[in-house]
Structure 1
Amino acid sequence: MANAVTSALQKLLPSKLPPSLSSRPGNLYQVLSRYTQDGVGQRVHQTRWGMKGIEGCYWEVTRTKLKLEGQHGKAWGKLVWKGKPVSKREELIPGGLKYGWQQGVSQAQKVHS
């Protein structure tokens, strides 16, 4: 009986979560759409920064306009680079679709030899 219920549920539920519900890195707008207020107030960074050994860098999101269920849009924020504020005023965050993004502050990743 349990197998029948499990089988029925698997047919009803999607096999893959939509990008907006995933916890994995994605484009900037996918990451921001996972949070309330479309990510305003969140700290986000490009995943490539960690691969380059860049630590303590992030954008603090101040405003967003998301489209297509969080697949596209625009986001503004203030850049903090290596712990020091760079932006005096909010500015458009570049590379929203071009790079992978993740919530939080960048941390250097160890390279496996």
Structure 2
Amino acid sequence: MSGTNVFAAFQKLLPKNLPPGLSTRSANLYQVLSRYGADGVGQRVYQTRWTGKGISDCYWTVTRTTLKKGGTHGKAWGRLVWRGKEVSPREERIRGGLKYSWKNGVSSAPTPSNTPVVP
């Protein structure tokens, strides 16, 4: 079984309402970081809206965090990689932690729809 099939089979076994620490859904930045050890330091995270806009290969590499209120609020710092190139030569504060939805990983362009292309 491939890795994707194993993950899909595993998800079917889990209850519908997972605790926030085990959820794979998007959430605010601090909720996503609190799911990992060391409060998410070293993780790659991205705003889910980037994928909807067709922006791919973009993410923040988290270098430092200060989480509060059970991991739902806090501050985070990191280095931004935008379209495959590191933009931040040194760590900077990650903005929009509560304003946008975030996920772990790297943004990817949306898949094209299955509509036929007429020449």
- Whether the 8 Å CA contact 1:20–1:70 is kept in 2: the answer is no
After superposition, what is the alpha-carbon deviation per residue over 1:59-100, rounded to whole angstroms, capped at 9, x for unaligned?
A: 000000001111000000000000000001100000000000
- Whether the 8 Å CA contact 1:27–1:98 is kept in 2: the answer is yes
Confirm whether residue 106 of structure 1 aligns to residue 107 of structure 2: yes
Partner of 1:92: 93
Q: How many matched pairs?
A: 100
After superposition, what is the alpha-carbon deviation per residue over 1:25-55, rounded to whole angstroms, capped at 9, x for unaligned?
A: 1000000000010100000000000000000
Using the aligned pairs only, state the percent identity.
67
Confirm whether residue 22 of structure 1 aligns to residue 23 of structure 2: yes
Q: Which runs of 5+ in 1 are unaligned?
A: 1-14
How far 1:56 moved relative to its partner? 0.5
Work out the CA distance in 2 between the residues paired with 1:33 and 1:20: 7
Work out the CA distance in 1 between the residues paired with 2:74 and 2:22: 17
- What amino acid does structure 1 have at the position aligned with 2:83? K
The TM-score, its normalising length taken from structure 2, stands at 0.78
Matches within 5 A, 1:6-21: 16-21=17-22
Work out the CA distance in 2 between the residues paired with 1:84 and 1:28: 22
How far 1:20 moved relative to its partner? 2.6
- What amino acid does structure 1 have at the position aligned with 2:47? Q
Q: Which runs of 5+ in 2 are unaligned?
A: 1-15
Structure exhibiting the larger radius of gyration computed from Cα positions: 1
Work out the CA distance in 2 between the residues paired with 1:22 and 1:54: 24
Partner of 2:54: 53
